Amino acid sequence: MSSQTLREARRYEEATGQMIAPEERPAFHLSTRVGWTNDPNGFSYYKGKYHMFYQYHPYAPYWGPMHWGHAVSKDLLHWEYLPAALAPDSPYDRDGCFSGSAVELPDGRQLLMYTGVLSTPQPDGTMREMQTQCLATGDGIDYEKYSGNPVLDAGDLPEGSSKYDFRDPKVWKKEDGTYRCVIGSRPADGSGQILLYSSPDGFQWKFEKVLVENKNRYGLMWECPDFFALDGKQVLLVSPQDMLPEGFEYHNGNGTLCLIGTYDEKTDTFTEEYNQSIDYGIDFYAPQTVLTPDGRRVMIGWMQNWDTCSIHTQNRGVKWFGQMSLPRELSIKNGRLYQKPLRELDDLRRNKISYEDVVFTDTIRLDGIEGRRVDLEIELSAGEEELYKKFAVRFAQNEQYHTAVSFRPAERILKVDRKFSGSRRAVIHQRRCEVNSENGKLKLRLILDRFSVEIFVNDGEKVVSATMFTGQEAKGISFFASGRVKMNVVKYDLTGE
């Protein structure tokens, strides 16, 4: 039975979503149907389709009482909106249905596990949001909240952990048919930890152990965990809040962290071996993964940064805010996380144009290379003589605007810069990272989709993502060298339907 709150959201999104013209949104990245989205939720494969739910405030292009929006896709690139799945309409989630995940039950229903938020008065008269874990079951369109909600509350926390920071369950089914989930939590030291819970049936949940402790190493609270096996290793993805920078690896603010290690299933022991950022750009957070029917681990994140949302939401006339990243195929090589654009993206490629051994020493343009929905492969080497000082590719460019990726081979520093993308806000517009390069060699693959760029470095060794809201008429692409650069370029339009 759907509530008045859910029915209203469904009516509203149906009426207003269609007022956003297709060219006002990204073409092959999922964006909110209307209003606001943040984290991807419940990323799953169910009844022959990929399902993506998302943190959703349909009524305005900024964060508000969280609903779950819903979309499905056959290829993760073309999305069809379905009616909103959850609304904050119950005594335990009146103030929000926060992030969570999805799994299929043996009887064919889909189980959603999410965080219910309830504002509760404190002894000093202030209000604080208590967080519990809740369930809903459904058929892929309509979901009913479980009568036993909440299934995990303050009583299920290890001693000293906060009942106000207990969120974002990621559930999976084990081979023996039982369930596990990982949940973000804040222990007494004020930082973050990831808790592991188990269930025989998906409905009765029990605390197992603290899986990983942050101990104030990387930011404070750890949000949105995901935990899975990959290429003989075990991977934990988390999104820490309130990070301090560390070299070129971690930046201030909300970040993404990938812990790679081993997992002993018998004792539920995760042993960390290595950690890194997941994305080195400006806009990426709270990713979730799905296992595809053909065995690929595919990740999608919120392509945004909590600290820079003002760039867009303060533009007049904005009807939507928030888009997801490209689906990225994950693998582990030499102990590091690699990401490649989902291979089906190649099916959208049209109008190939390529240039080989272009040698240049200042700014050049190449005939036929422009556009805002573009797949651009660039291979750099030094000219025959000495190492060049700097290379840059500028895009979303006209006389007034451009966004740029630049590279200095001596320092091996890659930088994305959207200072001149049209933003009027004094927030972060640049980010740098360190990449592998010898003698000026570098491989870049840039994917542009109207309002974003994702840069895959050296076949997925690092990824740098950034949004840009420059008018679509700025579609020039140019290349710049200080010193002598030799370059191969292949460009496709990503317009295939």
Give me the active site residues, please: 39
Q: Closest distance between ligand FRU and the C-beta of residue 286, in Å? A: 5
CB of 481 to ligand FRU, least distance (A): 39
Q: Closest separation between CB of residue 437 and ligand FRU, Å?
A: 33
How near is the Cβ of 254 to ligand FRU at its closest, in Å?
A: 7
Whose Cβ is closer to ligand FRU: residue 256's or residue 452's? 256
Q: How many CB atoms lie within 10 A of CB 119?
A: 11
The b/e string for 37-54 (b: 16+ C-beta within 10 A; e otherwise) is bbbbbbbbbbeebbbbbb
Cα–Cα distances (Å) from 67 to 12, 37, 53, 183, in that order, read 13, 9, 10, 19
Interface residues with ligand FRU (CB under 6 A)?
38-39, 55, 66, 98-99, 115, 167-168, 223-224, 285-286
Question: 267: which 2 tokens?
Answer: 């004792």
Nearer to ligand FRU, 36 or 391 (CB): 36
CA–CA distance, 452 with 341 (Å, rounded to integer): 14
In eight-state DSSP terms, residue 126 is -
Q: How far is CA 402 from CA 205, 417, 469, in A?
A: 51, 9, 11
Q: Which is nearer to ligand FRU, 195 or 485 (CB)?
A: 195
> In this complex, which beta carbon is closest to ligand FRU, that of residue 95 or of residue 375?
95
Which CB, 66 or 345, lies closer to ligand FRU?
66
Q: How far is the CB of 61 from ligand FRU (least distance, A)?
A: 15
Q: Could you give the strand order of the β-sheet that contains 97-104, starting from the edge strand earlier in sequence?
A: 97-104, 110-121, 127-138, 143-145
Q: Say how far apart CA 212 and CA 279 lie, in whole Å.
A: 21
Distance CA 466, CA 220 (A): 24
Beta strands in 241-360 (DSSP E): 257-264, 269-276, 285-291, 297-302, 320-321, 328-333, 336-341, 349-360
